[in-house]
Amino acid sequence: MHRSTLSRRRLFRFAAGTLVAAAAPKRGMIVRSTRAEDVEMPLEGFLESYLTPIDRFFVRSHHYVPTVDAAAWRLQVKGKVASPLTLSLDELKKLPRVELVSVLECAGNGRGLYEPSMAGLQWTYGSVGNARWTGVRLADVLKKAGPQTGAIEVLFDGADVAVGTQPEFQRGIPFAKAMDPNTLLAYEMNGEPLPQEHGFPLRVIVPGWAGDSWAKWLTSIEVRDTEFDGFFMKTGYRHPGKPVAPGSAVDPSQMKPVTSLQVKSIIASHVDGESVIPAATKLRGAAWSNESPIASVEVSTDGGRIWKPARLGKDAARFGWRQWEFDWTPPQPAYYSVMVRARNTAGETQPMTQEWNPSGYGHNVVQEVHLNVAVPGKPLPKPAAEPAQEVPAVVRQTCLGCHGEEAISQQRLSRTQWEREIEKMQRWGARVTPDNKEALVDYLSKRYPYRPRK
Ligand SMILES: Nc1nc2c(c(=O)[nH]1)N[C@H]1C(S)=C(S)[C@@H](COP(=O)(O)O)O[C@H]1N2
Ligand SMILES: [Mo]
C-alpha cells in the first residue's frame, strides 16, 4: 500500500489484526524540533476554520512518537482503588460516549517572545489549537475502579519512552479535577480516530488547563494519596505564581505546577511591521480562556487608548476559542499600533506588560502589531540570505545524536545559560568531556548568543 493511501486513511490494519494509526502529514507548520517532533501552527491557522484541522494542529512531544497497537493496548487503572482495572479499547468504549470542543494550548506557547529569553522550544503564537474531542469521562473510569478515601491525585503515564536519560513524561492532576465531568479520556479528535502524534489510541483531555496535563498514548492511571515527585511534576512545568526578577533562577520547590490557561487573544490576519494600503481592512484572529469562557474581545488601533468591541464568530463552546473580526479603515496614512484584548466571564483580562517566569509559561500579554498604512512605493530588495554555516564536528558528534540542530539554533542564550543547558544535556545523557565542554560553550554562545528577537 502506498504511504499516501495509508496517511489519508490514518488508521490501518496490518496482517494479524494489528491496528495502528499513521502519523498525519502536517501542512505548512513551523518546525521547532524534528526528533522529537514539535511543530507550531502558523498564524493563518487561526483563521482557517473554527475547528483546527488535524493537519494544522500543533504537536508537542518530549520524546519520540511511539507506535501503539490498539489491539494489544490496555489501560491500567491502579493505586488507591478498590478494584484495579485492565481495560481494552472496546471495553472502554462501552462507557457513555461524551464529546466536547476545547482549546489545547501548550504552557510554553509564546516562550519565544519573552525578554530575556530562556532555554526551551521557542514557540511564538501557534502551539495552540481548537478541536472536538470524543471519548469517555475519566470520572466514569475512576468510579468503576472505586477510588479510596484519601485520594488526592491521579497520575498519568503514556507509551512514549524517554530520550537519553531524560525522565519519563508522567503528569498528574488533582483528584477533584480528575472527577470533573469535563475531564475526558479521548479516542477521537475532530471525528477521526486520535492521530498517532496526538496520542493514539487514547489521551487525556483537561479543558481549560495547559497541555502538559493532557497526557498522550495513555497506558496507566494511578490514583494516589501522596503527590508524585517525578521530574515533570516537581521540576518541570512549574510557575512561581508571583512576580520574580526577570532572568533570575527560582528553586522549583518555590513554584507551583502549571494548571489553568490564561485568557488570551491573537491578531492572526496581520504581522508586526506589515505595510497595508490605506483602505478598508479586516483585522481577524482568535481568543480563548480557561474554565471561564470569553466574554468580550476589544481592539485598539491607537496604542491602547481607545478600545472598541470586536465581532465574535457564531461558533462557541465553553472551552473552545472564539474567532473575532474587526472592520477598520485607517483614517490616514500613518504608523499604527494595533492591539487586541480579551476578557472572560470571571473578569480576568490580559496584562499590558508580561510578567516574566523562569521557564517562559503562560505568555498572554496584549499583543501589539504595528501597521504601516502607506501608499505602496517600490518594494525593497530582499535581504540576502545568511550563508549556511557548517556545524562543527564537536557539536555534530556531541549534540545531534538525540535531536536535530533546529532545537539548538533557535535558542538565544547567554554564555551562562549555554553552560547550564549543556549541563542539563549531560544529565540527560549527552557525553561531554571537559575539553569539549569549553569548545561547545564557546561556539554556542558565539553562534547563538542572547539577542533581541527579530
Ligand atoms: N505521553 C505524553 N503526553 C504528552 C506529552 C508528552 O511529551 N508525552 N506532551 C504534553 C504537552 S507538554 C502538550 S502541550 C500536549 C500537546 O499535545 P498535542 O501534541 O496533541 O498538540 O501533549 C501533552 N501530552
Ligand atoms: Mo506543553
Centroid of ligand 2 to alpha carbon of 51 (angstroms): 20
Q: Which residue has the cell 547567554?
A: 414
Residues 101, 39 within the same domain: yes
Domain total in the chain? 3
Task: Band the pLDDT of 362: cuts 50, 70, 90.
Answer: very high
Residue 37 sits in a domain whose CATH number is 3.90.420.10
Q: Which of 20-24, 379-383, 389-393, 408-412 has the highest mean pLDDT?
A: 408-412
Q: 3-state SS of the chain?
A: CCHHHHHHHCEEECHHHCEEECCCCCCCCEEEECCCCEEECCCCHHHHCCCCCHHHCCEECCCCCCCCCCCCCCEEEEECECCCEEECHHHHHCCCCEEEEEEEECCCCCHHHCCCCCCCCCCCCCCEEEEEEEEEEHHHHHHHHCECCCCCEEEEEECCCCCCCCCCCEEEEEHHHHCCCCCEEEEEECCEECCHHHCCCCEEECCCECHHHCCCCEEEEEEECCCCCCHHHHCCCEECCCCCCCCCCCCHHHCEECCECCCEEEECCCCCCEEECCCCEEEEEEEECCCCCEEEEEEECCCCCCCEECEECCCCCCECCEEEEEEECCCCCEEEEEEEEEEECCCCECCCCCCCCCCCCCCCCCEEEEEEECCCCCCCCCCCCCCCCCCCHHHHHHHCCCCCCHHHHCCCCCHHHHHHHHHHHHHCCCCCCHHHHHHHHHHHHHHCCCCCCC
Average the pLDDT over 13-29 and give the result: 75
Least confident among 180-189, 315-324, 346-355, 379-388: 379-388
Q: What is the domain extent for residue 410?
A: 393-447
Of 10, 67, 65, 11, nearest in space to 34 by CA: 65
- CB-ligand 1 contact for 54 (6 Å cutoff): no
| 141 in a structural domain | yes
Residues 245, 269 within the same domain: no
- CB-ligand 1 contact for 108 (6 Å cutoff): no
| 131 in a structural domain | yes
| 388 in a structural domain | no
Residue 427 sits in a domain whose CATH number is 1.10.760
Least confident among 126-130, 196-200, 371-375: 371-375
Residues 59, 148 within the same domain: yes
Residues 291, 362 within the same domain: yes
Query: What pLDDT shows up at residue 1?
Result: 28
Residues 311, 236 within the same domain: no
Task: Band the pLDDT of 15: cuts 50, 70, 90.
Answer: low
Minimum-distance ligand 1 atom for the alpha carbon of 199: 20
Spell out which residues have Cβ within 5 A of ligand 2, the ion: 60, 106, 211-212
Instruction: Look at residues 373, 404, 431 and tell me which one is the last residue of a structural domain.
Output: 373
Q: Is the pLDDT of residue 449 over 70?
A: yes
Residues 214, 305 within the same domain: no
Average the pLDDT over 73-94 and give the result: 98
Residues 104, 218 within the same domain: yes
d(CA 79, CA 332): 66
Query: What pLDDT shows up at residue 2?
Result: 34
Centroid of ligand 1 to alpha carbon of 223 (angstroms): 21
Query: What pLDDT shows up at residue 5?
Result: 35
Average the pLDDT over 421-447 and give the result: 95
Q: Which residue has the higher pLDDT, 343 or 10?
A: 343
pLDDT tens, 203-228?
A: 999 999 999 999 999 999 999 999 99
Query: What pLDDT shows up at residue 213?
Result: 98
Residues 274, 418 within the same domain: no
- CB-ligand 1 contact for 264 (6 Å cutoff): no
Residues 218, 309 within the same domain: no
| 382 in a structural domain | no
Q: Which residue has the higher pLDDT, 3 or 143?
A: 143
Centroid of ligand 1 to alpha carbon of 62 (angstroms): 7
| 258 in a structural domain | no
Minimum-distance ligand 1 atom for the alpha carbon of 61: 7
Centroid of ligand 1 to alpha carbon of 94 (angstroms): 26
Average pLDDT across the chain, whole number:
94
Residues 64, 209 within the same domain: yes
Residue 314 sits in a domain whose CATH number is 2.60.40.650
- Which ligand sits closest to the CA of 211? 1
Q: Of all protein residues, whose CA lies closest to atom 16 belonging to ligand 1? A: 60
Residues 95, 174 within the same domain: yes
Query: What pLDDT shows up at residue 3?
Result: 34
Q: Is the pLDDT of residue 45 over 80?
A: yes
